[in-house]
Amino acid sequence: MAVQVERTGMLLIISGPSGTGKGTLVKMLMENDPSFRFSCSVTTRKPRVGEIEGVHYYFVSDEEYEQMVANGEFLEHATVHGHHYGTLRKPVEELMKQGYNVLLDIDPQGAISVMENADDYVSVFILPPSFEDLRVRLHTRNTDDPVEIERRLNNARGEVKKVERYQYALINDNLELAFSQLQHIVNAEKQRTNRYKPVITE
């Protein structure tokens, strides 16, 4: 008897308030798991220092974004903290067809929209240990001005209320522990028989 495996890609949705550590955990996952590809979103937000076009985001104007919405290019799109963001449908579908696991770092509005429309997905909400920690992290990251930070902290209150819509939640207090929990979720989900199909031959 021989056993071979056919794998189907997983759509992994990660959400959480700004500053909770999503980007940090996503980077760690990308560096440690070659089966994943990051879905690079489109945004009308201005690039932060160090952000690279086509790596962190595709940065577009309001007009370009509206055109993309009209063309149906987005799997989901939402206005978050006063800026527009959207997930490109085509690259996600193509990467999944190629058998990759695809990671979406998107807000709860977009996440819930994907959950309502996709047949199969894995959703994880990253919580901060406290709102005070979130405030400290956003200031320490030093990428947004104080007005933008306040806006993000105010939105965080509403965002965390959506945690129950997700299949998994974890608290990013100790980074190593949070990453280990994320890896456990991902590794268990990879072995589900709808994604991991053992083909048994005599």
Residue 8's binding partner out of ligand 5GP, ligand ADP, none, with CB under 5 to 8 Å set by partner kind: none
Residue 155's binding partner out of ligand 5GP, ligand ADP, none, with CB under 5 to 8 Å set by partner kind: none
Assign residue 99 a region: left if phi > 0, alpha if psi is -120 to 50, beta otherwise?
left
Q: Is residue 137 part of the contact set for ligand ADP (CB under 6 A)?
A: yes
Q: Is residue 20 part of the contact set for ligand ADP (CB under 6 A)?
A: yes
Q: Is residue 87 part of the contact set for ligand ADP (CB under 6 A)?
A: no
Q: Is residue 108 part of the contact set for ligand ADP (CB under 6 A)?
A: no
Instruction: Indicate which single residue of 140, 191, 193, 201 sits in contact with ligand ADP (rule: CB under 6 A).
Output: 140
Spatial distance between the Cα atoms of 30 and 38, rounded to a whole number of angstroms: 7
Residue 153: is it exposed, middle or buried by C-beta count within 10 angstroms (0-12/13-18/19+)? middle
- How many residues lie near ligand ADP (CB under 6 A)? 14
| Residue indicated by tokens 């994320």 | 182
For residue 23, the minimal CB distance to ligand ADP (Å) is 3
For ligand ADP, which is the closer residue by CB, 112 or 149? Answer: 149
- What is the DSSP code string of 6-29? EE---EEEEE--TTSSHHHHHHHH
Q: What is the DSSP letter of 128?
A: P
131 residue type, one letter = F
Q: In 10 A of CB 16, how many CB atoms?
A: 28
Q: Is residue 153 part of the contact set for ligand ADP (CB under 6 A)?
A: no
Q: Which stretch binds ligand ADP (CB under 6 A): 16-24, 49-57, 81-89, 96-104?
A: 16-24
* Nearest CA among 62, 59, 35 for reference residue 46: 59
Positions that interact with ligand 5GP (CB under 6 A): 15, 18, 41, 45, 76, 78, 80-81, 85-87, 105-107, 109-110
Positions that interact with ligand ADP (CB under 6 A): 16, 18-24, 137, 140-141, 172-173, 175
